[in-house]
Structure 1
Amino acid sequence: MMHNKLNLCLPAAFIALLFVGCKTYKNTTETGIVLTNNSSLELTDKPISIAKKLLPVKENLNNYPVLVYKNDTIPSQVNDLDGDGKWDELFLVTNFSANEKKNTQLVWVKKAPKFTIRTSARFGKREAENEPLQPATEETVNANQVYKKLGFQKYQTDGPSWENDKVGFRHYLDGRNAKDVFGKKIPAITPENVGISSKGAVEDNYHVMYDWGRDVFPVGNSAGLGGYALLVGNEINRLGILGTDTLNNIERTTFKIVSEGPENSVLSYDYHNWNASGNKYQVKEITSIWPGMYGFKNTVSLDGLKGNEMLLIALSNINNQKPLNVVEAGNFVCLIQHDNLGYNREWIMGTAIIVPKKGYNGYMEAPKTGQITNSYLAKFKVENNEPISYYAIAAWELSADKNFKDANYFTNYVTNLAKQLAAEITVIIKK
Structure 2
Amino acid sequence: MKKLILLFLATLSIVSCNDGKKEKEATVETKEETETLISNKTYAEISVKEGGKWEGREYKGGEFKNVDSLSVPENHTDHSWFIRYEGPGWENKNVGYRLYLDWRNAIDIFGKKVDTLVLPYVGQDGFDSYHEEADWGLDILKAGKSMGIGGYGRYMNDTVAHFRNVGNTIATVINTESRSSVEIFYEDWATGKDTIDLEAKLSIFPEGRYTKAELTPSAEIDGLTTGIVKHGPQLIKRQSENGKWAYIATYGAQTLVNENDKLGMAVFYNTDELDKQIEGTDDHLVVFKPTTETITYYFLGAWEQEKDGITTKEDFLSHLDELLKELNSNNTLN
Report the TM-score when normalising by structure 1.
0.63
Residue 327 of structure 1 aligns with which residue? 238
Identify which of 69, 78, 90 aligns with 1:162. 90
Residue 294 of structure 2 aligns with which residue? 387
Identify which of 41, 44, 47 aligns with 1:121. 44
Q: How does 1:15-414 map to 2 (within 5 A)?
A: 116-126=39-49, 128=53, 129-147=60-78, 152-190=80-118, 192-197=120-125, 203-232=127-156, 234-240=157-163, 248-257=164-173, 259-305=174-220, 309-318=222-231, 320=232, 322-330=233-241, 331-343=244-256, 344-367=258-281, 374-384=282-292, 386-402=293-309, 404-414=310-320
Instruction: Report the Cα distance in structure 2 between the residues aligned to 1:348 and 1:271, rounded to whole angstroms.
Output: 34
Query: Secondary structure of the residue that 1:147 maps to in structure 2?
Result: coil
Q: Would you say how many aligned residue pairs link Structure 1 and Structure 2?
A: 288
Instruction: Report the Cα distance in structure 2 between the residues aligned to 1:124 and 1:260, rounded to whole angstroms.
Output: 15
Instruction: Report the Cα distance in structure 2 between the residues aligned to 1:335 and 1:138, rounded to whole angstroms.
Output: 33
2:313 corresponds to which letter in structure 1? Answer: A
| CA displacement at 1:178 relative to structure 2 | 0.6
Preserved contact between residue 76 and residue 82 of structure 2 (Cα < 8 Å) = no
CA separation of 1:238 and 1:345: change in aligned 2, threshold 3 A: farther
Instruction: Report the Cα distance in structure 2 between the residues aligned to 1:360 and 1:147, rounded to whole angstroms.
Output: 31
Query: Secondary structure of the residue that 1:352 maps to in structure 2?
Result: strand
2:250 corresponds to which letter in structure 1? Answer: Q
Preserved contact between residue 49 and residue 83 of structure 2 (Cα < 8 Å) = yes
Query: Secondary structure of the residue that 1:282 maps to in structure 2?
Result: strand
Instruction: Report the Cα distance in structure 2 between the residues aligned to 1:251 and 1:235, rounded to whole angstroms.
Output: 25
Instruction: Report the Cα distance in structure 1 between the residues aligned to 2:82 and 2:103, rounded to whole angstroms.
Output: 11
Query: Secondary structure of the residue that 1:195 maps to in structure 2?
Result: coil
| CA displacement at 1:346 relative to structure 2 | 4.1
Query: Secondary structure of the residue that 2:325 maps to in structure 1?
Result: helix
Instruction: Report the Cα distance in structure 1 between the residues aligned to 2:155 and 2:145, rounded to whole angstroms.
Output: 17
Query: Secondary structure of the residue that 1:206 maps to in structure 2?
Result: helix
| CA displacement at 1:273 relative to structure 2 | 0.8
Query: Secondary structure of the residue that 1:192 maps to in structure 2?
Result: helix
Preserved contact between residue 143 and residue 249 of structure 1 (Cα < 8 Å) = no
| CA displacement at 1:165 relative to structure 2 | 1.1
Higher RCO (CA 8 Å, separation ≥ 6 residues): 1
| CA displacement at 1:419 relative to structure 2 | 2.2
CA separation of 1:413 and 1:133: change in aligned 2, threshold 3 A: same
Cα displacement string for residues 328-372 of structure 1 (whole angstroms, at most 9, x for unaligned residues): 1253111010010111534111001111121323322222xxxxx
CA separation of 1:237 and 1:304: change in aligned 2, threshold 3 A: farther
Instruction: Report the Cα distance in structure 1 between the residues aligned to 2:103 and 2:155, rounded to whole angstroms.
Output: 19
Instruction: Report the Cα distance in structure 1 between the residues aligned to 2:136 and 2:112, rounded to whole angstroms.
Output: 6
Q: Which runs of 5 or more structure 1 residues have no equivalent in the other structure?
A: 1-10, 15-115, 241-247, 368-373, 426-431
Instruction: Report the Cα distance in structure 2 between the residues aligned to 1:170 and 1:164, rounded to whole angstroms.
Output: 12
Instruction: Report the Cα distance in structure 2 between the residues aligned to 1:224 and 1:191, rounded to whole angstroms.
Output: 19
Instruction: Report the Cα distance in structure 2 between the residues aligned to 1:13 and 1:170, rounded to whole angstroms.
Output: 18
| CA displacement at 1:13 relative to structure 2 | 5.1
Instruction: Report the Cα distance in structure 1 between the residues aligned to 2:225 and 2:78, rounded to whole angstroms.
Output: 25
Q: Which runs of 5 or more structure 2 residues have no equivalent in the other structure?
A: 1-34, 54-59
The answer to which structure has the higher helix fraction is 2
Instruction: Report the Cα distance in structure 2 between the residues aligned to 1:251 and 1:341, rounded to whole angstroms.
Output: 35
Cα displacement string for residues 160-179 of structure 1 (whole angstroms, at most 9, x for unaligned residues): 10001111000101332110
| CA displacement at 1:132 relative to structure 2 | 1.0
1:414 corresponds to which letter in structure 2? Answer: L
Query: Secondary structure of the residue that 1:339 maps to in structure 2?
Result: strand
CA RMSD, 1 decimal: 2.2
